[in-house]
Amino acid sequence: MISLPSIILLCFGMLARAATVTYDFNITWVTANPDGVFPRPVMGINGQWPIPYMTATVGDRIVVNVLNQLGNASTSLHFHGLYMNGTNDMDGPVGVTQCAIPPGSMFTYNFTVYQPGTYWYHSHQPAQYPDGLRGPLIITDPDSPYKGKYDEEIVLTISDWYHEQFADMLKTFVSVVNPTGAEPVPEAALFNDTQNLTTPVEPGKTYMFRIINMGAFAGQYFWIEDHAMQIVEVDGIYTEEAAADMIYITAAQRCSVLVTTKNDTTTNFAYVASMDEDLFDKVPESLNPNVTGWLVYDSTANLPNPPSSTPSTPSTTSPSSPQTESPSSQTQTTPFPSQSS
Ligand SMILES: *[C@@H]1O[C@H](CO)[C@@H](O)[C@H](O)[C@H]1NC(C)=O
Ligand SMILES: *[C@@H]1O[C@H](CO)[C@@H](O)[C@H](O)[C@H]1NC(C)=O
Ligand SMILES: *[C@@H]1O[C@H](CO)[C@@H](O)[C@H](O)[C@H]1NC(C)=O
Ligand SMILES: *[C@@H]1O[C@H](CO)[C@@H](O)[C@H](O)[C@H]1NC(C)=O
Ligand SMILES: *[C@@H]1O[C@H](CO)[C@@H](O)[C@H](O)[C@H]1NC(C)=O
Ligand SMILES: *[C@@H]1O[C@H](CO)[C@@H](O)[C@H](O)[C@H]1NC(C)=O
Ligand SMILES: *[C@@H]1O[C@H](CO)[C@@H](O)[C@H](O)[C@H]1NC(C)=O
Ligand SMILES: *[C@@H]1O[C@H](CO)[C@@H](O)[C@H](O)[C@H]1NC(C)=O
Ligand SMILES: [Cu+2]
C-alpha cells in the first residue's frame, strides 16, 4: 500500500514540473488584409492579428484573462480538443457552459492541460471565429513517443477566408432565402493567416509540421512538392507512423507530420493547400482554391510555382475521397490513406 507521505511526495513531484502559464488577452478589432485583396476589420488580441499562439507543457495550468474590448460584440474562448475534464465551465460555448463575455467585461479561463498535442483556440460566440479570433494551442510533451525523431517543430495553420464579416453573412446563410442551408463560399485560402508564406529549412533535417485547419467550412488537401510526409499525430492522438504524399484535413482537424528535408540545397519546393470545392454549392469562376507556400532551402533561388497536378493520381481527389478519409472512418494508426500506394 502506498503511504500518505509518498502520495504527498508524488504530488510535490508533479507540482515541481507543472507551471502556470498566464495569458492576458485584450480582444479588439484590428485591420488586416491576409489575401491581399482589401483590408477589413478582424478580431485581434493585444492589437495583433494573427492572434498569439498559445503554448504550454502537458500538466501545466493555463490561465487566460480575457478582456472584451470589441465594443459591439460579445465573445468567449473555446480550447478546441481539450476534454476540460473537471473544468467544464471553462469550455467556452456561449449559452452552454457560460454566458457570453459582454463588451467591456472580463472573464478568466483557468484549467489544467492533461492532453499533449496540437490544438487550437477560438471564439465560441456563434459565427465569430472566422472573423479572425482563432489561433494555435500547442501542448508540448516531454514524454512524446516521437521525441528525438525530429529536429524542429513548425506550426502551420490552414484556413478559408471570407471578405464579408460573418455576422453579415449569417443573415443570408440562416434564412428563408437559403432553404438548402448552402454555406458561404470562401474567397481565398490562407496559410498562417497569409499567402505566399516562405518557410526557411535546413538540409537533411527532420521537421515536425503541426498542421491545423482552423477554417470555417472548407476541408483542405495539403501536400509538399516532392517531399513525403509521415503522419504521427491526429487531433491530439499519437499515431503509428503512416506515410502520405497528401493529406485531407477537415475544418477543426489537426495533423502532425514528419518531413525530412533533402540534402541538396539548390532548389526550393512549393507546398500547397487546396480547398475541397466539392463542399461548395456554387464555385465562382474567380475562386482560386489554392494557397501556396515554400520550403526555402536557398533564399537566393527562385520560388517555383507548383505543378498543375497534385502528387496523387486523379482518383484520390474524387468526390468520394473526403468521405472515405473522414475522421469517423479513420483508424488511429492510418488516419489518412497513403496517396502513393
Ligand atoms: C485594449 O486595447 C485597446 C485598443 O488597443 C486599448 O485602447 C485599451 O487600452 C487596451 N486595454 C488594456 C487593459 O490593455
Ligand atoms: C500571393 O501570390 C499570388 C501570385 O503571385 C498573388 O496573386 C497574391 O496576391 C499573393 N498574396 C498575397 C497576400 O500577397
Ligand atoms: C463592429 O465593429 C466593427 C469594427 O468597427 C465593424 O466592422 C462591424 O461591422 C461592427 N459589427 C456590428 C455587428 O455592428
Ligand atoms: C476525468 O477525470 C477523472 C477523475 O480524475 C478520471 O477518472 C477520468 O478518467 C478522466 N476522464 C478522461 C476522459 O480523461
Ligand atoms: C485557478 O484555479 C486554481 C484551482 O482552483 C486556483 O487555485 C487558482 O487560484 C486559480 N487561478 C486564478 C488566476 O484564478
Ligand atoms: C507559421 O507562423 C508561425 C508563427 O509566426 C511560425 O512559427 C511558423 O514557422 C510558420 N509556419 C511556417 C510553415 O512557415
Ligand atoms: C542525406 O545525407 C545523409 C548523410 O550523408 C544520408 O544518410 C541520407 O541518406 C541523405 N539523404 C538523402 C535523401 O539522400
Ligand atoms: C490548384 O491546384 C491544383 C493542383 O495542383 C491545380 O490543378 C489547379 O489548376 C490549381 N488552381 C488554380 C486556380 O491555380
Ligand atoms: Cu472548436
Averaged over 230-243, what is the pLDDT? Answer: 98
Q: Over 80: is that where the pLDDT of 337 sits?
A: no
Cβ(121)–Cβ(157) under 8 Å? no
State whether the beta carbon of 238 lies less than 6 angstroms from ligand 3.
no
Averaged over 38-56, what is the pLDDT? Answer: 98
- Would strands 54-57 and 134-140 be described as parallel, antiparallel, or unpaired? parallel
Please report the pLDDT score of residue 306 as a whole number: 87
Segments of 150-281 assigned E as strands: 152-161, 188-191, 197-200, 206-213, 220-224, 229-234, 237-244, 246-249, 254-260, 269-275
- In this structure, which residue's CA is closest to atom 10 in ligand 1? 26
Q: Which residue has the higher pLDDT, 53 or 175?
A: 53
Is residue 6 very low, low, confident or very high in pLDDT (cuts 50, 70, 90)? Answer: very low
Which SS3 state, helix, strand or coil, does residue 171 take? helix
Give 275's DSSP letter.
Answer: E
Ligand 8 pocket by C-beta < 6 Å: which residues? 274, 288-290, 306, 308-310
Averaged over 49-65, what is the pLDDT? Answer: 98
- In this structure, which residue's CA is closest to atom 1 in ligand 5? 110
Q: Over 50: is that where the pLDDT of 9 sits?
A: no
Task: Report the residue among 227, 259, 263 best suited for mutation to probe ligand 7: largest number of ligand atoms under 8 A from its CB.
Answer: 263
Q: What percent of the chain has pLDDT over 90?
A: 78
Please report the pLDDT score of residue 312 as a whole number: 59
State whether the beta carbon of 71 lies less than 6 angstroms from ligand 1.
no
Q: How far is CA 299 from CA 70, 154, 200, in A?
A: 40, 18, 8
Q: What percent of the chain has pLDDT over 70?
A: 87
C-alpha cell at 143: 514524454
Q: Over 80: is that where the pLDDT of 335 sits?
A: no
Q: Over 80: is that where the pLDDT of 262 sits?
A: yes
Per-residue pLDDT reduced to its tens digit, 173-204: 888 888 888 888 999 999 999 999 999 999 99
- In this structure, which residue's CA is closest to atom 7 in ligand 8? 308
Ligand 4 atom with the shortest distance to the CA of 114:
14
Which domains does the chain carry? Answer: 4-140 (2.60.40.420), 152-332 (2.60.40.420)
State in Å, rounded, how far the first CA of the chain is from the last one. 53
Across the chain, mean pLDDT equals 88
Burial (CB count within 10 angstroms: exposed 0-12, middle 13-18, buried 19+), residue 251: middle
Closest-approaching ligand to the CA atom of 215? 9
- In this structure, which residue's CA is closest to atom 1 in ligand 4? 85
Beta bridge partners of 217: none
Q: Over 80: is that where the pLDDT of 15 sits?
A: no
Averaged over 151-156, what is the pLDDT? Answer: 98
State whether the beta carbon of 167 lies less than 6 angstroms from ligand 3.
yes
Torsion of CA 1, 8, 12, 21, to 10 degrees: 100
Gap between the Cα atoms of 209 and 293, Å rounded: 13
Averaged over 254-281, what is the pLDDT? Answer: 96
Averaged over 241-260, what is the pLDDT? Answer: 98
